[in-house]
Chain A
Amino acid sequence: MQHDWAINKQIGKDRTLDKTHALDQFLSQVERRAFKIAKLAVGNHDEALDIVQDSMIGLVQKYANRPADEWTPLFYHILQSRIRDWYRKNKVRTTWMSWLGFRKNGEEEELENALEALPDPHGRDPSQVAANEHSMEDLEVAIQTLPLRQQQAFLLRTWEGLSVADTATAMKCSQGSVKTHYSRAVHTLREALEEHWT
């Protein structure tokens, strides 16, 4: 016969396993989009990965016990905070670098140019690749040139499918602000892209 504490311990273990499984599923569903959103915001692959990892850890540490349907806005709320933190740090760093007179190394620039000039490893038709990649590049560039708040409102609403209320929670602003940012973003993007896409 099992004691009460042993039964409770087993129930606790089962709950932790269920929670781990649910969080694993949730994070694997959002991780790619979260990475892309972070990369569009900060423009750096490794920094974007770090931001996503911090956000995942933040969600698990702070909100694992909250109902699963709250995880999406909470996760994006953390992601937005991390992106804003990155902007603040980067601004300070850029200011210091410009004061100290640091510039990008010429050799690094040459290497990047050389890598871009390499042929496609999959041997695809260059014109097809160019058309497809141009289309994607145009979209990326257009999204990246949006002001950060418009960019994030647009991605969270259009791509992640968050409601206005959840987007407002994630962005820590009013629903009215979300609507304004979103409609401005859509207007700008349509102007920039529709001509190329039709």
Chain B
Amino acid sequence: MNENDFLKKVKTQLDEQTEHLGAATLSKLNQSRQAALAQLQPRGHRLKQKWLPASGLVAAVLLTSVFMFRSEEIIPNGEQGIDDIEIIASNDNLELYEQLDFYMWLLEENNSAG
């Protein structure tokens, strides 16, 4: 085998090897190429792309915090509402509540007399 034939055979074998690199390797090479080409985009655009997921996360955390804070405020109001409903729905005589001052005065008089 002369040198040219030998070199041709070497080249053919190496070419064959690169034809069978496997999907995972080819995918990685493709990702590397895309990462390299991304360097051509303006810096501002790359920064936007880089920080977009992070800013989304921050926004989500802020929204969750706001909702949690607001729901804490709402709970006492809710309890107040429930109390009102209980008073309205109870079978107690409403006069009792209307004349509450009178009953309080009566109680104080009894205590001072006693």
Q: What is the interface of chain A, defined by CB distance below 8 A to chain B?
A: 16, 19-20, 23-24, 27-28, 31-33, 35-36, 45, 49, 52-53, 56-57, 59-61, 64, 135-136, 139-140, 155, 158-159, 186, 189-190, 193-194, 197-198
Q: How large is the interface on B (under 10, 10 to 19, 20 to 34, 35 or more residues)?
A: 20 to 34
A89 to B36, CA, bound (A): 23
Pairs A–B under 8 Å by Cβ, sample size 19: A20-B40, A27-B37, A32-B18, A35-B21, A45-B25, A49-B28, A52-B29, A52-B32, A53-B36, A57-B39, A60-B37, A64-B39, A139-B13, A158-B10, A159-B14, A193-B10, A197-B1, A197-B6, A198-B1
**A19 contacts which chain B residues (CB < 8 A)?**
40
A140 to B14, CA, bound (A): 9
Find out whether the CB atom of B18 lies under 8 angstroms from the CB atom of A186. Answer: no
Cross-interface CB contact of B7 among A24, A33, A53, A158, cutoff 8 Å:
A158
Task: Kindly provide the distance from the CB of B98 to the nearest chain A CB, expressed in whole angstroms.
Answer: 77
A59 to B14, CA, bound (A): 24
Main secondary structure of the interface of A (DSSP, over half): helix
Residue of A nearest to B18 (CB): A32
Task: Kindly provide the distance from the CB of B105 to the nearest chain A CB, expressed in whole angstroms.
Answer: 85
Report if B35 contacts A (CB, 8 A): yes
B21-42 contacts to A (CB < 8 Å): 21, 25-26, 28-29, 32-33, 35-37, 39-40
Find out whether the CB atom of B25 lies under 8 angstroms from the CB atom of A35. Answer: yes
**B1 contacts which chain A residues (CB < 8 A)?**
194, 197-198
Total number of A-B contacts with CB less than 8 angstroms?
85
Find out whether the CB atom of B40 lies under 8 angstroms from the CB atom of A16. Answer: yes
Cross-interface CB contact of B25 among A49, A59, A189, A190, cutoff 8 Å:
A49
Residue of B nearest to A17 (CB): B40
Task: Kindly provide the distance from the CB of B3 to the nearest chain A CB, expressed in whole angstroms.
Answer: 7
Task: Kindly provide the distance from the CB of B47 to the nearest chain A CB, expressed in whole angstroms.
Answer: 16
A180 to B26, CA, bound (A): 34
Known: A36-B14, A136-B17, A158-B10. A23 touches B29 (CB 8 A): no
Report if B16 contacts A (CB, 8 A): yes
